[in-house]
Amino acid sequence: MSKKLFFLIFSIIMVCSCKSLSNNDSIFKKGDMEKLVTNKEKIIEMENKIKSDNKKIHNILIIKNNLIAYEFNSDSYDSNKIQNIYSVTKSVMSILIGIANEKKYLDLNQKVLDFFTEYKIENLDDRKKNIKIVDLLTMASGIQWDEFGQFTGVATHGEMVSSKDWIQFILNQPMIDEPGKSFNYNSGNIHLLSAILQKSTKLTASEFADKYLFQYLDIKEYNWIKDPQGINFGAVGLQISPNDMAKIGSLYLNKGKWNGKQIINESWVTESTKKQIATPFPGWNYGYCWWLLPHAQYQIFSAIGYLGQFIIVIPQTNMIVVITSELTPEEYIGYSSELLYNFILQAF
């Protein structure tokens, strides 16, 4: 299946799953930009670049010292409007798995196949039997997977969403490596996490999120699609607003605390945002569904979604950067990185 056809199908699913929306005022108060920005010229240059390049940047929201330091919204988008965050969903799933682990619903060293005994699994070998939950979090399951078809011409992701049973499809894929050995980006891994969470807690991922995460962050308006078996799409199925994306960033910036309450263990935040495995991309590493971005001076970690959706956290500067966009598949990493490194970091 081509990328274009997959995302057409995905968009139809998302539209059909939409709830009615209501405004949700940001909990972040506007700060004095003159005091928070050290190089205002860089902000002006960034805005001029976006306009001259005619890029589809929907929102840029920068929170510094818990204040809105800068906000850019395109004509048809504002920071309260829910949007498709694509693979930023994976980082939210990581948070939910961390909470479930803390509450003893599951353990990271549990074998994945132990949760799916009702399935008759193809291509079964000792490597597949030994996949652990932690291997899913680090994209190191060893399952053969070509996410967007860039290597084989066939997008495994697209084949999955076209199948009648997504979990069966994922579990049937052959193995190409030992679990835990090498990074291979695989949305199937994270959908398995959603299924495991549902089996362990008797709650769907959205129900679990409502109970243990969203209610504390005051995230009220969202959509989260499900597969044919009623499992929330753990990899890319969530829609939330840029303001709510910033709340998730703030939770991690503050080491799992929200309004003084520890929502998730500080140790989970630390473990999920430190290098767990190297990736094929120079300077980029991976934690538990969080990307670690290269920088000589700062620790930067980020949730990243297709077409340019970002929650970027920079602890040393006490800053969160949210970007939503509709860039092309070929440009969204490069263009968004240019905005971050050449303008935002230099402005603050």
| CA-only gyration radius of the chain, Å | 19
Q: Dihedrals φ, ψ of 52, to 5°?
A: -70, -35
- Cβ contact 205:42 at 8 Å: no
Whole-number Cα distances in Å, 273 to 4, 94, 176, 217, 284: 32, 10, 26, 20, 12
pLDDT per residue as tens, the chain (348 positions) = 444 444 444 443 443 343 333 334 568 999 998 899 999 999 999 999 999 999 999 999 999 999 999 999 998 899 999 999 999 999 999 999 999 999 999 999 999 999 999 999 999 999 999 999 999 999 999 999 999 887 777 789 999 999 999 999 999 999 999 999 999 999 999 999 999 999 999 999 999 999 999 999 999 999 999 999 999 999 999 999 999 999 999 999 999 999 999 999 999 999 999 999 999 999 999 999 999 999 999 999 999 999 999 999 999 999 999 999 999 999 999 999 999 999 999 999
What number of CA atoms fall less than 13 Å from residue 290's CA on the CB side? Answer: 26
Instruction: Look up residue 303 and give its amino acid.
Output: A
Separation of alpha carbons 242 and 77, rounded Å: 10
Give residue limits of the domains in the chain.
83-346
Give the number of residues written for the chain. 348
In terms of Cα–Cα distance, which of 230, 234, 244 is closest to 81?
244
Separation of alpha carbons 186 and 283, rounded Å: 20
The CATH superfamily of 83-346 is: DD-peptidase/beta-lactamase superfamily (3.40.710.10)
- Beta-strand (E) ranges in 205-254? 223-224, 238-240
Separation of alpha carbons 222 and 331, rounded Å: 27
Long-range contacts of 70-75 (CB under 8 A, 24+ apart): 70/33, 70/36, 70/37, 70/43, 70/347, 72/47
Record the tokens describing residue 55, joined without a space: 């890029």
pTM of this structure: 0.92
Instruction: Look up residue 90 and give its amino acid.
Output: K
